[in-house]
């Protein structure tokens, strides 16, 4: 049997030449650095040469660029994901979660998966129009669409752009089933649409709650709703008849995994009927970004957290293999799984799922007024 290499970092501190981005410039952000994407020919990093020039740089401000994709529905055939199609109204996410597995996608834009991911955002205002065109395509077969598969559809800029609401309006009009996953209480703004869809078996919502500790949540997910706001959203959605669940994601060993039972208890008391969990994922640049955050906020737990992560990833920071990337493997992973199962049974929570939504009501939109492709 192969024994994983669980050697700890040789030093709990970053190299002396890597000063990261000054705290004043990244206040309210999750990442501590803005390293270049993996596709760039040159690597940039902050370096203090003693002249104090870094103090003159401006803070990272949120900017939004319009993106014009040709299609809006993304497809996947992953066997460990419970849906085969999703919509992401935005690229990048202002919530700034230090652990976000979607961060590496910013490298495809020539931007950093670090601070750029949470500050330089892309909006897709044509999403509703593109969705209507795709739903009108001959032979389209309705299956639940996931909103929030990559970046949060209710991140702060949704208040102004309202792209997610426009997408929901198309889905409601065509009686198309949808599953929403979010960390934001802004989802309650669209309670009118979601409750109407839920009454016809067309909508479910899951609130992601990583911690009930306000301090931990604030540092790890700086611009997401507070834990109390997310629990209140579960309560309001449930009271309005929307099937609502809680997603404990990610579970981070030695950091938030002691809270698993408390999170499930609080969510169940608020009205959640389903639950799910995902182990911390550290693909590509996310590994160094999360390590930087961990060193800054929890240096005393740095080695222990990484050691446990690697014990569940065959000695590596991440294992992308289907079936293991979401859960990990080994005794610690098995213990988390068992704790979760016992708590769910005690609280009468069902396993989070996308089935159970009614796909038979789907009515293709009228293609009139929609510009169709020539081929």
| Element spanning 207, H or E | strand 203-208
Residue with tokens 């593109």: 130
pLDDT, tens only, 53-82:
655 678 889 999 999 999 999 999 999 898
Cα–Cα distance, 327 to 281 (Å, whole number) = 9
pLDDT at position 17 over 80: no
pLDDT of 24: 83
pLDDT of 249: 96
Q: What pTM was estimated for this model as a whole?
A: 0.89
Domains by residue range for the chain, with CATH: 59-351 (3.80.30.30)
pLDDT, tens only, 86-131:
999 999 999 999 999 999 999 999 999 999 999 999 999 999 999 9
Residue 355's pLDDT band (cuts 50, 70, 90):
low
pLDDT of 55: 58
Give the strand order in the sheet containing 90-91: 63-66, 120-123, 90-91
**Which of residues 2 and 247 earns the better pLDDT score?**
247
pLDDT of 108: 95
pLDDT of 4: 40
pLDDT at position 36 over 90: no
Give the strand order in the sheet containing 203-208: 73-75, 85-87, 145-147, 178-182, 203-208, 244-251, 274-279, 350-351
Of 24-28, 44-48, 241-245, which one has max mean pLDDT? Answer: 241-245
Average pLDDT over residues 247-266: 98
> What are the backbone angles phi and psi of residue 120, rounded to the nearest 5°?
-105, 95
Average pLDDT over residues 319-348: 96
Cα–Cα distance, 301 to 304 (Å, whole number) = 5
Average pLDDT over residues 357-373: 78
pLDDT at position 146 over 50: yes
Mean of all residue pLDDT scores within the chain: 91
pLDDT of 18: 41
pLDDT, tens only, 283-331:
999 999 999 999 999 999 999 999 999 999 999 999 999 989 999 999 9
Q: Which of 9-13, 218-222, 240-244, 329-333 has the lowest mean pLDDT?
A: 9-13
pLDDT of 14: 40
pLDDT of 51: 65
Q: Please state, for a pLDDT cut of 70, what percent of the chain lies above it.
A: 88
pLDDT of 8: 37
Residue 52's pLDDT band (cuts 50, 70, 90):
low
């Amino acid at each position: 049997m192969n024994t994983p290499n669980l050697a700890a970092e040789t030093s709990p501190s970053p190299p002396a030449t890597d000063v990261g981005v000054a705290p004043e410039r990244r206040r309210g952000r999750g990442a501590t650095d803005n390293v270049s994407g993996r596709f760039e020919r040159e690597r940039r990093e902050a370096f203090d040469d003693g002249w104090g020039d870094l103090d003159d740089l401006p803070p990272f401000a949120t900017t939004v660029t319009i993106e014009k994709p040709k299609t809006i529905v993304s497809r996947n055939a992953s066997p460990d994901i419970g849906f085969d199609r999703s919509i992401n109204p935005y690229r990048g996410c202002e919530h700034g979660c230090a652990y976000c597995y979607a961060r590496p996608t910013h490298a495809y834009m020539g931007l950093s998966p670090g601070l750029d991911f949470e500050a330089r955002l892309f909006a897709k205002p044509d999403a509703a129009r593109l969705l209507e065109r795709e739903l009108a395509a001959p032979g389209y077969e309705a299956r639940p669409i996931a909103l929030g598969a990559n970046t949060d559809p209710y991140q702060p800029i949704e208040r102004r752009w309202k792209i997610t609401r426009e997408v929901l309006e198309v889905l409601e009009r065509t009686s198309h089933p949808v599953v929403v996953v979010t960390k934001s209480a802004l989802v309650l703004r669209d309670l009118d649409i979601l409750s109407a869809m839920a009454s016809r078996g067309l909508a479910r919502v899951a609130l992601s709650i990583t911690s009930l500790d306000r301090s931990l949540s604030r540092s790890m997910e700086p611009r997401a709703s507070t834990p109390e706001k997310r629990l209140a959203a579960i309560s309001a959605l449930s009271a309005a008849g929307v099937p609502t669940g809680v997603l404990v994601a990610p579970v981070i060993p030695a950091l938030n995994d002691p809270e698993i039972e408390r999170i499930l208890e609080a969510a169940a008391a608020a009205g959640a009927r389903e639950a799910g969990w995902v182990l911390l994922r550290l693909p590509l640049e996310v590994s160094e970004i999360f390590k930087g955050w961990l060193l800054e906020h929890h240096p005393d737990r740095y080695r222990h957290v990484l050691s446990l992560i690697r014990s569940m990833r065959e000695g590596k920071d991440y294992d992308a293999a289907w079936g293991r990337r979401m859960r990990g493997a080994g005794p610690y992973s098995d213990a988390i799984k068992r704790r979760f199962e016992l708590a769910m049974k005690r609280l009468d929570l069902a396993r989070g799922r996308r089935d159970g939504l009614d796909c038979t009501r789907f009515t293709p939109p009228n293609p009139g007024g929609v510009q169709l492709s020539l081929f």
